[in-house]
A and B are shown apart, each in its own frame.
Chain A
Amino acid sequence: MSQKPIIYKSWRELPLMTASMGDTTVNKTGSWRNVEPHHVEQVAPCSLRCPAGNDVVGFVTLAAAGKLEEAWHLLAETTPFPGTCGRVCPHPCETECNRDHLGGAINIHSVERYIADYFMDKPPEQKPGTFSGKHVAVIGSGPAGLSCAYHLKRFGHAATVFEAHSKAGGMLRVGIPDYRLPPEVLDAEIRRIIDLGVEIITGSRVGKDVSFDQLVHKFDAVFAAVGFTNSRPLGAEGDDGDDVVPGIEVLRKINLGMDDGVGNKPLVVGGGNTAMDVARSLLRKGKDVSVIYRRTRYEMPAIAEEIDELLAEGIEITFLATPVEVLRENGKMTGVKCIRMKLGEPDASGRRRPVPIEGSEYVIEADCVITAIGETTDLEFLPDDIRAKTSWNIPADELGRTAFDKLYAGGDVADGAGTVTAAIGYGRRAAIAIDAAFRGKPVADNAAMSPSLRERTGYAIPFEEINTAYFEDLPRSEPGSLKVSERIKTLDEVHQGFSEADLEKEAKRCFSCGTCPACDNCYIFCPDAAISKVKDDKNKLYLVDIEYCKGCGICAAECPRGCIVMKAVR
């Protein structure tokens, strides 16, 4: 090592006092670093769990900021039915919500409902995509069918929906009672789809009024979303009379304003949503209704809130019993002989199988039986060659693609998921797949997500990544609902929506997991002044100056919502 020569200077050459001539930015302290921060926007668990693919954090935070129209448009990216979903969806988003650990989950469905209701009468203008020349036939105007048609129209394809009933809406129309989903809401949302340019032909049953082959011949693709139409038979002795009726049939009659044709003391068999809906509808018609279910409350497939409300309304559920024989005198039902059950080994669904207890038969008084023990599909409309290759459903992948030429399927007829939101999501994914097929492009892996979330790389922020020091422990708000004594007399909607003040309060509780709202924490706390705010860039809010970042990780630790991750320096 060569020695530097020592330079001697006289006092005249030295400055009067030592003064700094420059700043320390010459010193690149970034070389100390072994980890570095990356601003990464991630997908919140609520958005990830939404079967319809809604950007939940997106619309909730927009609503909190009072930007309702932007929130509406964001929802319109994924669903044509925010008003419906805000009412009837079992909201898995709220189950996953990280806020649940601090004051209770965000009341997401009420926020969605508020946004939809705000624009119900006068929705913001939406334009269909530029017409591609392709035309798709959609069989069934339920949530899956209409969602698919709506998105196809947005993508620029023509869509014609064939509906067997006199009114569009499928299960939304005939399967969900008015007290949960008022017909005006459904009408408004369907009107919006029609206004976009979707053609709906009602009273036209495929397989009868128009043949499936005709559709395949005439259209560029066919999306089958016929849903569950048939009730499973009761399987008890004497279940073939007129006084044993399927639950969905009764619901259809009530929903279309017809006479329900049911006696005064009906017994509803089943523990699913249909059973709850039909029992509560009949109660409102003044019937002395009761429910019987062969397992326990724990195994009931119905939405928990629906069960609670049914019990609150005074309807009795007999658990662990099932009908074995319908008793009649002079052709008129006098009662139902039932047998007690006990729970045995778990079955294919993971629930414990009910086993009859021998000799425990007893009689329940009833003048009619309503079956709601599950629904199944009716695939009679399909030609024999396709019919032969299907089972109870039309097998389809999650994008609705089937093994058959031009045929796509979605909703209950494909997966039997049984919820409106799942059907809406299925319809949208199928529309994306059909669009991709028309344009000869592959479907992206994350096509199921809202377009606003597709560029994000990380997924499902866990609660541990939320820095709770920055959030107040505020309780969840619930909108009002009709009193039990009032609601059992009418078909009026049970639950009310949020008031403006409630909406603001509730939406502002959102952690906004994984979405950076530019809170400046990383900028404020950086000890090295290495994080700067970026202006005029839509995709970037902060810039980390890697030349000076020492990798302390304070920015990641103090990010309230997990938008910064520390990665090892390569």
Chain B
Amino acid sequence: MRALPHLKQFTEVAEQEIMHSGHVACPGCGAAIAMRLALKTLGRRTIIVFPACCWAVIDGPFPYSACSVPVFQVAFETASISAGAIRAGLDITGKKDINVVAWAGDGGTFDIGFGQLSACAERNDNIIYVCYDNEAYMNTGIQRSSATPWGSWTTTTPGTDFKKERKKNLLEIMAAHRIPYAATTTVAYPDDLIRKFRKAMSIDGFKLIHIFSPCPPGHKALEKDSILESRYAVESRVFPLYEVEHGTHYKLSMDPPQRPVRDYLALQGRFKHLTDEQRDFIQKSTDEEWARLMHFMKVSEAVE
């Protein structure tokens, strides 16, 4: 009387457990869920490159590693080019079936590794670049990054000096490089995440996957609410899920019924200082961004 097929919510995820227990991510870490699902999809023929980021720590102290695939720990700004170099080496030795993944946080992607990322994308190196975005330098003590959204508290934007600059739009920047594949995804939708990794694996060239990854200590949210926060980010359109092929073809992955941004903000202590007007402002700018994205979708459809 068990296992009633109609009540299955998600497609089967692979049983192989490549990311091991015992890693040192905080309880409820979104990045750990993302890595676990990504590795299940990528399989054992994978090489990962970590720049300085949470995952450089999460992976465990020497001589242990949470991921039972080869992992390279590289300098902060070099995730993309290191991965590109590993790919070049593999290509020379004729090993074509290995996924090379650069796995960087938002600091290593939006700020410090940004120049190399752009260069690597321009050269169209055959790698999967994953940015797990927890919207600040969480690992070093929650300092602001250019991925931190408007209105957010961090230790470098405390109190009334909350961040007054908007978040960089990484996908638009990468789309402007006309890379073969760029996509956003998040941990609350495993089907979507797995599908996008599968798609990235099947494409030659530079692929970027931008994962919204809730961070309970950094977002001042409850550990148990990581998936809820991730889901609300999509439902409130703060973090829409879409893909861009060849920099021009935009495709929306899902369009759930809209939820007010307030619901998303309310889950996180980093927004608790915001006044009603400021919350309305975030709603307004979210709606504008969404309208802009819809415009891209429309243009893409017209081109097709």
Give the nearest-CB partner of B13 in chain A: A524
Min CB–CB distance A152 → chain B (angstroms):
26
B227 to A27, Cβ gap below 8 A?
no
Residues of B within 8 A of A18 (CB): 62-63
Residues of A within 8 A of B161 (CB): none
Most chain B CB within 10 A, of A67, A517, A529, is at A529
Other-chain residue from A19, A24, A529, A550 in contact with B27 (beta carbon distance below 8 A): A550
A27 to B22, Cβ gap below 8 A?
yes
Is A102's beta carbon under 8 Å from chain B? no
Is A257's beta carbon under 8 Å from chain B? no
In the complex, A552 Cα to B3 Cα: how many Å?
A: 26
Q: Which of B124-132, B140-148, B218-226 contacts A (4 or more CB under 8 A)?
A: B218-226
7 residue pairs, one from A and one from B, having the closest CB atoms = A553-B224, A548-B21, A24-B22, A552-B28, A20-B65, A552-B27, A527-B32
Is A79's beta carbon under 8 Å from chain B? no
In the complex, A92 Cα to B2 Cα: how many Å?
A: 26
Min CB–CB distance A71 → chain B (angstroms):
9
Give the nearest-CB partner of A473 in chain B: B257
B36 to A529, Cβ gap below 8 A?
yes
5 A-B residue pairs with CB within 8 Å: A19-B63, A33-B27, A508-B6, A554-B226, A556-B224
Residues of B within 8 A of A70 (CB): 1
A64 to B6, Cβ gap below 8 A?
yes
In the complex, A529 Cα to B21 Cα: how many Å?
A: 5
Residues of B within 8 A of A553 (CB): 28, 222-224
Indicate whether A29 sits within 8 Å of B23 (C-beta atoms), given known contacts A20-B71, A518-B2, A519-B8. Answer: yes
B24 to A20, Cβ gap below 8 A?
no
Residues of A within 8 A of B23 (CB): 24, 27, 29, 528
A527 to B20, Cβ gap below 8 A?
no
Give the nearest-CB partner of A532 in chain B: B17
In the complex, A27 Cα to B3 Cα: how many Å?
A: 33
Is A23's beta carbon under 8 Å from chain B? yes
A24 to B66, Cβ gap below 8 A?
yes
Q: Tell me whether chain B's interface is mostly helix, strand or loop, or mixed.
A: loop
Give the nearest-CB partner of B187 in chain A: A525
Indicate whether A525 sits within 8 Å of B22 (C-beta atoms), given known contacts A22-B63, A518-B3. Answer: no
Residues of A within 8 A of B19 (CB): 529
Indicate whether A552 sits within 8 Å of B22 (C-beta atoms), given known contacts A20-B63, A58-B1, A70-B1. Answer: no
A residues sitting closer than 8 Å to B (CB atoms) are: 18-29, 32-33, 58, 61-62, 64-65, 67, 70, 74, 469-470, 508, 512, 517-521, 524-530, 532-533, 541, 545, 547-548, 550-554, 556-558, 560, 566
In the complex, A82 Cα to B6 Cα: how many Å?
A: 24
In the complex, A143 Cα to B24 Cα: how many Å?
A: 62
Min CB–CB distance A11 → chain B (angstroms):
18
B4 to A517, Cβ gap below 8 A?
yes
In the complex, A26 Cα to B68 Cα: how many Å?
A: 14
B10 to A520, Cβ gap below 8 A?
yes
Is B303's beta carbon under 8 Å from chain A? no
In the complex, A517 Cα to B64 Cα: how many Å?
A: 37
B9 to A23, Cβ gap below 8 A?
no
Residues of A within 8 A of B7 (CB): 61, 64, 512, 517, 519
Residues of B within 8 A of A519 (CB): 7-10
B62 to A24, Cβ gap below 8 A?
no
Min CB–CB distance A16 → chain B (angstroms):
14
Residues of B within 8 A of A64 (CB): 4, 6-7
Is B228's beta carbon under 8 Å from chain A? yes
Indicate whether A65 sits within 8 Å of B5 (C-beta atoms), given known contacts A20-B65, A527-B28. Answer: yes
Task: Give 20 A-B pairs besides A524-B10, A529-B20, A566-B224 with Cβ atoms closer than 8 angstroms.
Answer: A20-B71, A23-B20, A24-B22, A24-B23, A24-B24, A24-B66, A25-B22, A29-B23, A65-B5, A517-B2, A517-B3, A524-B37, A525-B190, A527-B28, A532-B17, A545-B21, A548-B21, A552-B223, A553-B222, A557-B225
Residues of A within 8 A of B216 (CB): 552
B223 to A554, Cβ gap below 8 A?
yes
